[in-house]
Amino acid sequence: MADELVHYDVVGGTATITLDSPHNRNALSAQLRRELSESLDKARADDAVRVIVLTHTGPVFCAGMDLKEARGAGAGAQGVNEFPKILEQLWTSPKPVVAKLAGPARAGGIGMVAATDIAVAVHEATFAFSEVRIGVIPAVISLTVLPRLNARAAHELFLTGDTFDAKRAVEIGLLNSAVPADALDDEVARYVKALALGGPKALAATKELLSKPRPATPSEGFEAMNKLSAGFFASEEGQEGITAFAQKRKPNWVPEA
């Protein structure tokens, strides 16, 4: 049996999912896709997990689809057919997902970064939508990438396939933060700690809220949003949070340090 290519570990309410296929730059092979999807399902289903961190071994976060497997396969047999499920798992996860990049991402790898809620990379990380340069298109990943990028940058980078650095990735909305390599762990830990302070149900509902289309005017949305807000104020989780605030203590959902 082949060694696993994705590792899963839970410590203190944080599930860390690690891509470990450095021999092919963590390309999205059939085995890696399967194990990554299984790990995401496991983290989403575990009530003890509050935050998910997606990271990697080796110098590259993810090089995109495994081109060796793609070569010679018909449209129905392409591995990209399984990729939307992974992006959907990341995008709709009720637990916040943080991407931790110690190296470059390309193509589908960037699609996964864009599907997470928070993305942090080292200054040295580079990015490229390299699809057009091998005669394919960034179709599937466009659904997670385009909501993040400003339009001018998206046109330029999708069409040219040019490489860009972490500083620009922050400027155009792909990353939240770019830091020196020796600060990566601390920066990710800072985000994880902040995310874990939120109520689990409140975080899940807020993620859903962020993904919904905006009403044409605030007036058209106030009735539905007020009903949603009032329900959370009166909920068991909301009342626990309000009580904890009054009693100057942490709510019961905050993981032990």
pLDDT of residue 1: 43
What are the tens digits of pLDDT across the range 205-214?
A: 999 999 999 9
**pTM across the whole model:** 0.95
Structure token digits, residue 227: 């009903």
For residues 232 and 155, state if they share a domain: no
- Confidence class of residue 69 from pLDDT cuts 50, 70 and 90? confident
For residues 122 and 180, state if they share a domain: yes
For residues 150 and 224, state if they share a domain: no
Closest alpha carbon to 129 in 99, 168, 74, 85: 168
What are the tens digits of pLDDT across the range 146-159?
A: 999 999 999 999 99
Closest alpha carbon to 66 in 77, 56, 80: 80
176 is in which domain, residue-wise?
6-195
Domain count, the chain: 2
For residues 142 and 229, state if they share a domain: no
pLDDT of residue 77: 65
For residues 30 and 150, state if they share a domain: yes
CATH number of residue 89's parent domain: 3.90.226.10
For residues 57 and 89, state if they share a domain: yes
For residues 164 and 222, state if they share a domain: no
For residues 131 and 226, state if they share a domain: no
- Would you say residue 208 lies in a domain? no
What are the tens digits of pLDDT across the range 158-186?
A: 999 999 999 999 999 999 999 999 999 99
- Would you say residue 148 lies in a domain? yes
